[in-house]
Amino acid sequence: MRIDLLTLFPDFFAGPLTQSILRRAQEQGAVSFRVINLRDFTTDRHRTADDRPFGGGPGMVLKLEPLVAAIRAVRAEDAAVWVVLLSPAGGLLTQKKVRELAARSHLLLVCGHYEGVDDRLAHYVDEELSIGDYVLTGGEPAAVVVADAVVRLLPAVLGCEGSAAEESFQTGLLDHPHYTRPRVFEGHAVPEILLSGDHAAVARWRRQEALRRTLRRRPDLLARAALTPADRDFLARLREISEQQDG
């Protein structure tokens, strides 16, 4: 996979793209990154990429011309590129969307900044994405989040660090609790079931703990999760116990 990042601040990516899984994914040849400087597509001697908003108001807005020129240049290299604008007005990034992006061969992540981008850019991108209901100083941190989430789903990238299929949101639930040595720390012990060697019992415990955690922390996810009859029975028991305790 190839991921291009179009930005006004290319130095922002010098650290994140050279660390941990993103670095190893590049070394393995699973992904290649290219950081594109938006100012390289400006036409004036001052390399101006932003301007004051029509109608007045605070801040500056990224200009349309260099953004479109950059997008067209990348599309001229690869017509299959999928262009994503990182924007607080975009659709919410979910694990389902991450899987869709990971299935593509080439992404161009467009980073807004200042007060945003000229709204007409929507005619030149394939979709807009938001990583959450809050405002960042620019799209660069959001682009790193998207890149990280996508790259870790590429085949063989995670390796021995874990199975992406078992993590939070992959099954529609939050992940089950994880423990490692020591067995007891300051009076807090690892659940005995995990030390039993009974793999079927451990799998059942992990599923039930994922259900318990999701019900407690993100009950909204349960409406969309793929639940078995056993899952539904367990959740019903948990709700019954909760009602008895409240009563």
Q: Where are the domains of the chain?
A: 2-159, 168-246
What's the rounded Cα separation, in Å, for the pair 230 and 117? 49
Residue 102: its pLDDT value, please?
97
Q: Which CATH number fits domain 168-246: 1.10.1270.20, 3.10.129.10, 3.30.379.10, 3.40.50.300?
A: 1.10.1270.20
| 3-class secondary-structure state, position 84 | strand
Residue located via tokens 């793209």: 17
Query: What distances in angstroms separate CA 171 from CA 52, 131, 203, 214, 222, one per listed residue?
Result: 46, 20, 14, 11, 10
| CATH number listed for the domain at residues 2-159 | 3.40.1280.10
What's the rounded Cα separation, in Å, for the pair 110 and 85? 5
Residue 160: its pLDDT value, please?
45
CB neighbours of 194 closer than 8 A, spacing ≥ 6? Answer: 179, 202, 205
pLDDT, one tens digit for every residue, the chain (247 residues): 999 999 999 999 999 999 999 999 999 999 999 999 999 999 999 999 999 999 998 889 999 999 999 999 999 999 999 999 999 889 999 999 999 999 999 999 999 987 789 999 999 999 999 999 998 989 999 999 999 999 999 997 976 444 555 555 667 899 999 999 999 999 999 999 999 999 999 999 999 999 999 999 999 999 999 999 999 999 999 999 999 998 7
Query: What distances in angstroms separate CA 204 from CA 164, 210, 215, one per listed residue?
Result: 19, 10, 17
How buried is residue 168: exposed, middle or buried, by Cβ count under 10 Å (0-12/13-18/19+)? middle
pTM score: 0.85
Residue 58: its pLDDT value, please?
87
Fold: same for 2-159 and 168-246? no
Q: At what angle do helices 199-217 and 229-246 cross, to 10 degrees?
A: 50
